[in-house]
Amino acid sequence: MSGHIELLGGPEGYAHMLDSMFNGPSRLSGRHQSDITGLIGQYAHGNEPSHHMAYLPSFVGHPEQTQALVDSICDALYTAEPDGLSGNEDCGQMSSWFVWSALGMYPVTPGSPKYVIGTPRYDAFQWMLPNGNVLEVEVDRSSPEAVFVHGLTIDGLPVNRTWVGHDELMAGGHWHFEVRDEPVGEDGWGKAQSAWPVENWTLGDAAFVAAPFIDAPRSYSGDSLLVPLGTIDTEAQVWVRVVEDTPEARSVGADMSGFVPALGPVTVRGTQVVQVVSEDHGSKSAVVSSRIARVNPDFSIEIREPYANQYAAGGDRALIDGIRGEGEDFRTGDWQGFYGKDAFVTVDLGQEYRIKSLSVGVLQDVKSWIWAPEKVTCRTSLDGVSFVDFGSASTSLEPVDYTPLTERIGFDGDAVARYVQMELNQFNGAVIPEWHLGRLNPTWVFADEFGFEIEPVKR
């Protein structure tokens, strides 16, 4: 957060930006997004990744704005009615924001041992901590509507800063808040710069080194590929090694043998794995590893209906790049997604082959509106015009099973062809059924790697 403040003009500039966001018009433009709800200016409380924002004024000396905003959000955007949440309840985050805020604090920065103080909504409560300690909180409130903190003591000792540490929370004890109807003055509680929260991850205190990047596609055609490497840290040295494609090469442990300083792009030949790591003042970044596959340059693919841009899996050649989708998570970038329309692709092998088998991997994640295809059909052709069925089958995955699952659907046979075709028909005619929470919306189908076992035709 401290780096963000510096980029946006320091405390005064940042306070102005926050004021503009919370007090601007709530007009929206662009495509409809169902999570952009609960608007306060341009702040959308219905979109969970924004939930830290109401606490940001405290970072630039305005804890009274944080307290007023948080109290207003709790009052206006939370009720005990069926529509009592202003946004999509992803994994309990909408509710947990309220729980934290009602208790008078919030973990703004993930991984940080600091909680920014808001205003407790209860005059007294006990917090049974997981280590067995008990935190007792008492609030001296000037009126039922009072929300502005004028003082805090922990076990009788005054605390002037607008944050508390995780160790202080877990120690339990007795916290006492003084809460008044009017905000504090310029010299009041939490206004001094020394009282503001600071989140500043630097080399000196955290030994953080930015991970380097590999600027390359997932696959290529040709004899070799030149792969640029780099890092955003101008003082860091990038080390690299290029190794053959093996399961061990894709998970780099402590073994750093074979790494050499990167003096420019590296060359990949065939299918290989590029691994890079940055080093700065003796500290190393995480290792970045990328498998870059060589695709037969004679192969080309035609996709009838476009895949979704956000689930491209590497682009047009993703289904024939030799990289199979791994795991049941559709967000890894390995799976190509088609929304509301059947997946239908034709591959030109460049010459005639004897086709021994055809297969495709599919993924199902019902809670995310992704179903395995209702039917998979593979076809072959000599001329790219007249196709004959090679195999057809339905998935074995149950459409009411909410467990993320994958399946490889394949067919064995014997056909001579230059063109192979795959058609994946959307579940239920591409419409989510009535029994699902997403009822009547379009369905998704996710696939990866149209596989074919082929042999040259003997003349």
What are the strands, taking DSSP E only, across 365-434? 375-381, 388-393, 405-425
Other C-beta atoms lying within 10 Å of the C-beta of residue 91: 8
- According to DSSP, the residues that pair with 276 across neighbouring strands are 240, 288
Q: How far is CA 275 from the centre of its chain?
A: 23
C-alpha 243/C-alpha 266 separation (Å) is 12
The pLDDT of residue 254 is 52
The pLDDT of residue 32 is 67
Element holding 166 (H helix, E strand): helix 166-170
User: Which residues in the chain show pLDDT less than 70?
Assistant: 31-35, 201-207, 247-255
117-163: pLDDT as tens digits: 999 999 999 999 999 999 999 999 999 999 999 999 999 999 999 99
Amino acid at 248: E
Domains of the chain (ranges; CATH) run 2-195 (3.30.2080.10), 204-294 (2.60.40.10), 300-456 (2.60.120.1190)
The pLDDT of residue 250 is 59
Tokens of residue 249, six digits: 């090469």
Q: What is the DSSP letter of 44?
A: E
Tokens of residue 43, six digits: 């702040």
**SS3 assignment, position 417:** strand
C-alpha 311/C-alpha 327 separation (Å) is 15
290-310: pLDDT as tens digits: 989 888 889 999 999 999 999
C-alpha 334/C-alpha 313 separation (Å) is 5
Amino acid at 450: F
C-alpha 423/C-alpha 427 separation (Å) is 13
The pLDDT of residue 203 is 44
Helix/strand/coil (H, E, C) string of 284-307?
A: ECCCEEEEEEECCCCCEEEECCCC
Tokens of residue 32, six digits: 């409809």
The pLDDT of residue 323 is 80
Q: Are 212 and 231 in contact (CB under 8 A)?
A: yes
